[in-house]
Homo-oligomer: A and B are copies of this chain.
Amino acid sequence: MIEHELLFLGLLMEGPKHGYEIKRQIEEELFPFIGLKIKSIYYPLRKMEQLGLINKDIGREGKWPEKYVYSITPKGQKIFDHLITESFLSIERPYFNIDLSLYFLDYVDKGIARRHLRARVIFLKRIKRDLENLKKGMKAPKRHLAIILEHDVDLVEAEIVSITTLIDTLN
């Protein structure tokens, strides 16, 4: 929920939006960078409206039928500040999906594990390449996207090194 709140509030910090636009932005703009999967937006939006973090107003444009416009309230902005601070200072140390599998590595045949890990490295390299191309291909260099991409590239690179070493030690 915390992440969801930060997500919706952050999107509304840019300006008022209607639901479809929020959904589209999450699916098309944020997903490739953030990997948040959000299947429904109306329940969270209603919740946050009840909490007074956002407003929902009728905003008719042209001949379109109803079009509800969501906007962030002062209280919502305060919460946004709070959440983003919390996220920056997030007490949780980072965790990585693959770790769970590594924890159970003993229950996997060594040969198979090695093959899987090699495949993972190849996959990670492809991702790295894609990310770098994506960064190059960005026209109007959106600063925040560039930052995230660099961050991702670095971490993917680290994972490649890490897994490669692991493969070698997997006697």
Contact = CB atoms under 8 A, between A and B. Distances in A.
Give the number of copies in the complex.
2
B10 A107 contact: yes
A106 to B, nearest CB: 6
A143 to B, nearest CB: 7
Given A10-B107, A85-B116, A151 B102 contact: yes
B144 A104 contact: yes
Interface string A30-54: 1001111000000000000000000
Nearest to A11: B104
Interface string A52-82: 0000000000000000000000000000110
Chain A contact surface mostly: helix
Given A10-B103, A88-B98, A101-B84, A158 B154 contact: yes
A92 B166 contact: no
A72 to B, nearest CB: 10
Contacts of A33: 99, 103
Given A100-B3, A116-B89, A166-B151, A95 B127 contact: no
Interface in A81-126: 81, 84-85, 87-108, 112-113, 116-117, 119-120, 123
Given A89-B120, A103-B145, 14 more contacts: A6-B100, A30-B100, A35-B92, A84-B104, A84-B107, A87-B98, A87-B101, A88-B101, A94-B97, A94-B152, A98-B151, A102-B147, A154-B161, A157-B158
